[in-house]
């Protein structure tokens, strides 16, 4: 109706709706409630008859539909196909086969689902297309996902963007979905790909004024659509006031609430207010009629009383027909014989499972004894009250934690084992050490005792600068230790590896030295039983997320009685760190750890490796020997790492160097204790302003002897003693 005043023109709309699905208006019972000029979609019911359709080898008969067909939102009453023994839910979403979470529970990788923790709890995602899963209808052959919105920037030129499912077993459903475009003064063309010249649909929203609350338009989508692109052009480029950031997406029209509040403030030209909308994808072809197969068909579906689904991955799925459609007397042929066969197979499977479980239990008991479980129980019993409680993990727990010992989880490998990064069921990140201590057939008593010794030693230690043992597992072929996870690797890697992003300043190096000294001081004098580490080196010093040092690898450590001053043992250790006095006498004392710590101090000062050789020289050079020579020749400052040499730190570096020289004294009795070393390092740091750095109570008369003795530690690797007992590498936790 056109009034005399052109400004009084009214916008009208017309539609067909299902009155049973909308609340009636109080004014007119035949008119739906809450319908306005802004309404874009209303429900309507269509009648349908299935037609003969060729699905390769399958032909669906023409059948009259049921008198009371279900709502399109509901799924037919057909049993959901969950696979036995598989996790079938994530959050509150059911995951039926062919979808699945665990390995062996999904048909193929296209249907693999990951259950991820989000801010709203655990949510399932289809990993192959990286979309959140909202619902699965097995009977309809559809899946509801949270599809992302394609945003169009606010420039005047044409913008083409899209979403592509080509190559996947999924299609956009043309029954439930619609194209939607949002934006004022816009013409949206929908394409199969950004390179297409011919649109498959279009819609326009030519005008937005103060009376318009929803600046959007929509269009139907064609069948068999696997990709989608939007080409959005502004109709009135000069109209700057009403210009909005546009967007385009495919949305399931059964969820009108998802479209509410989509339009932001018109002055906001940054982005839309929603990022995702529910979209229905086809993963199989639903058929609401009985299925008839051609002669010679290779499809395994029964022809009578069954529904057929031809999935897009060329795998056919069948579901038995129930009373929801057709004749209630129709049943799957051969179901009785099949059920009997199933019961027989289930009985055999259960028997096999029980036998396998019994054999696994016996095997685990065998491994437990072979890996020193009885010895460990005895040791823990003898040390009751002196040890921290450690957890005994099952083999299944650690297999899941390491993704079945995936090579990508390896943190380090060495002479005593391999270390994996793992995540326990409670979310804690741990380091799992698979020890190389028990051979496959022959029990190595010496290495077994080393393994049990490491468990006992670490269970007695509770210090912030010592890596913490959380538990162990002895029921596997190779025994396992579980430690706290230390993320920043070893001091050796940080000092000698390429590390441009985080150069080690002198302040950090001094803090690391103090932490190591405190840990060794605790082991020697504050622990319930004195403990000698016996393998102090930079590769056994781990750094946490704040670069605090932690001492690790206690495989060769030993505890001693309070009155005991030394331990006579076969020489063990690592080149460059071995105490020459211990090398000559086979007697390891607490001062042997002091010598090794002195080498680590020299590493921190110089940034050089403990053992090195040049291509032109065949002789292996000892860092301790080189350092002492430079001290004797007053050329010490020439070997200091340039990264730490500055005016403010010079006096501290000199003081630490003098302390390192005392730690490297040939005569072990003249070396300071670790307690004294820790105190002096603290004084050097805390009394920086005071001029008390020149404190040295020992003479340097033995430097020549020390140099001569240090040559022993750098002898040829062909020595039979060294080849038999010295460890060249270590495991990094």
Please give the positions annotated as active site.
535
Q: What is the C-alpha separation between 366 and 499, in angstroms, rounded? A: 46
Alpha carbon 602 to chain centroid distance?
A: 38
Indicate the SS3 state at residue 50: coil
CA 597, CA 97: separation in Å to the nearest integer? 60
Torsion sign, CA atoms 699, 700, 704, 710: positive
What is the distance of C-alpha 628 from the center of its chain?
47
Give me the residue label for tokens 């539909």: 65
Q: How far apart are CA 17 and CA 25, in angstroms?
A: 14
DSSP 664: T
The DSSP bridge pattern shows strands 227-234 and 159-164 to be: antiparallel
Is 214 buried (19+), middle (13-18) or exposed (0-12) by CB count in 10 A? middle
Q: How far apart are CA 147 and CA 149, in angstroms?
A: 7
How far from the centroid of its chain's Cα atoms is residue 616's Cα? 46
Q: Which of 629, 574, 624, 625 is nearest to 603 (CA)?
A: 624
Work out the end-to-end distance of the chain between its first and last CA atoms, rounded to an integer number of angstroms: 82
666, 706 in Cβ contact below 8 A?
Answer: yes
Q: Identify the DSSP state of 29.
A: T
Overall size of the chain counted in residues: 733
Q: How far apart are CA 660 and CA 647, in angstroms?
A: 21
- Contact in structure between 557 and 454 (CB atoms under 8 Å): yes
Crossing angle of the two packed helices 506-521 and 590-606, in degrees rounded to 10: 170
Strands (E), 466-565: 469-473, 480-484, 531-532, 541-543, 549-551, 558-559
């Amino acid at each position: 109706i056109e009034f005399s005043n052109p400004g009084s023109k009214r916008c009208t709309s017309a539609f067909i709706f299902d009155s049973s699905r909308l609340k009636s208006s109080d004014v007119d019972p035949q008119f739906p409630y809450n319908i306005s000029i802004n309404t874009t979609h209303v429900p309507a019911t269509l009648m349908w008859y299935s037609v003969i359709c060729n699905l390769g080898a399958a032909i669906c008969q023409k059948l009259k539909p049921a008198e009371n067909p279900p709502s399109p939102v509901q799924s037919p009453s057909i049993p959901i196909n969950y696979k036995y023994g598989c996790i079938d839910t994530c959050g509150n979403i059911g995951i039926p086969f062919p979808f699945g979470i665990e390995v062996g529970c999904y048909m193929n990788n296209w249907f693999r689902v990951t259950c991820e923790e989000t801010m709203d709890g655990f949510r399932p995602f289809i990993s192959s297309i990286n979309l959140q899963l909202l619902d699965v209808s097995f009977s309809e052959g559809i899946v509801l996902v949270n599809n992302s919105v394609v945003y169009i920037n606010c420039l005047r030129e044409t913008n083409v963007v899209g979403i592509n499912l080509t190559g996947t077993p999924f299609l956009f459903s043309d029954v439930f979905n619609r194209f939607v475009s949002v934006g004022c003064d816009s013409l949206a063309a929908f394409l199969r790909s950004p390179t297409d010249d011919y649109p498959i649909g279009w819609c326009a929203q030519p005008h937005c004024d103060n009376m318009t609350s929803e600046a959007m338009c929509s269009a139907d989508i064609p069948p068999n659509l696997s990709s989608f692109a939007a080409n959005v052009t502004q109709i009135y480029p000069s109209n700057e006031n009403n210009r909005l950031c546009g967007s385009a997406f495919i949305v399931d029209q059964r969820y009108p609430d998802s479209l509410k509040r989509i339009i932001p403030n018109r002055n906001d030209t940054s982005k839309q207010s929603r990022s995702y909308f529910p979209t229905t994808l086809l993963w199989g072809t639903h058929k609401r009629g009985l299925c008839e197969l051609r002669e010679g068909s290779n499809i395994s579906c029964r022809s009578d009383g069954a529904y057929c689904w031809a999935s897009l991955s060329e795998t056919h799925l069948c579901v038995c027909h129930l009373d929801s459609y057709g004749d209630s007397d129709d049943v799957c042929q051969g179901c009785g014989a099949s059920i009997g066969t199933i019961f027989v197979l289930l009985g055999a499977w259960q028997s096999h499972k029980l036998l396998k479980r019994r054999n696994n239990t016996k095997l685990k008991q065998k491994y437990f004894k072979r890996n020193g479980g009885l010895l460990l129980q005895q040791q823990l019993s003898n040390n009751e009250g002196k040890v921290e409680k450690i957890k005994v993990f099952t083999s299944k727990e650690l297999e899941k934690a390491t993704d079945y010992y995936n090579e990508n989880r390896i943190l380090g490998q060495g002479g005593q084992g391999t270390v994996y990064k793992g995540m326990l069921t409670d979310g804690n990140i741990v380091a799992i050490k698979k020890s190389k201590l028990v051979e496959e057939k022959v029990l190595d008593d010496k290495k077994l005792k080393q393994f049990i010794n490491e468990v006992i030693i670490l269970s007695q230690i509770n210090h912030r600068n010592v890596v913490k043992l959380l538990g162990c597992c002895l029921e596997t072929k190779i025994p396992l230790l579980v430690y706290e996870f230390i993320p920043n690797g070893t001091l050796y890697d940080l000092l000698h590896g390429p590390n441009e992003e985080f150069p080690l300043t002198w302040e950090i190096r001094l803090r690391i030295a103090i932490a190591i000294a405190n840990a060794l001081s605790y082991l020697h004098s504050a622990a319930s039983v004195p403990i000698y580490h016996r393998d102090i080196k930079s590769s056994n010093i781990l750094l946490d997320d704040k670069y605090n040092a932690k001492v690790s690898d206690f495989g060769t450590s030993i505890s001693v009685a309070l009155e005991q001053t030394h331990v006579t043992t076969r020489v063990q250790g690592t080149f460059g760190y071995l105490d020459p006095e211990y090398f000559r006498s086979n007697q390891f004392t607490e001062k042997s750890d002091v010598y090794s710590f002195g080498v680590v101090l020299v590493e921190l000062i110089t940034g050089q490796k403990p053992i090195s050789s040049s291509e032109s020289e065949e002789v292996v050079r000892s860092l301790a020997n080189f350092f002492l020579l430079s001290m004797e020749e007053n050329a010490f400052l020439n070997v200091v790492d340039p990264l730490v040499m500055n005016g403010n730190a010079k006096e501290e570096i000199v003081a630490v160097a003098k302390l390192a020289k005392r730690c490297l004294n040939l005569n072990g009795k003249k070396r300071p204790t670790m307690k004294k070393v820790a105190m002096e390092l603290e004084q050097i740091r805390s009394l920086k302003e005071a001029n008390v750095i020149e404190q040295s109570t020992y003479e340097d008369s033995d430097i020549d002897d020390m140099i001569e003795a240090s040559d022993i530690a750098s002898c040829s690797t062909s020595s039979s003693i060294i080849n038999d007992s010295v460890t060249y590498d270590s495991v990094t936790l």
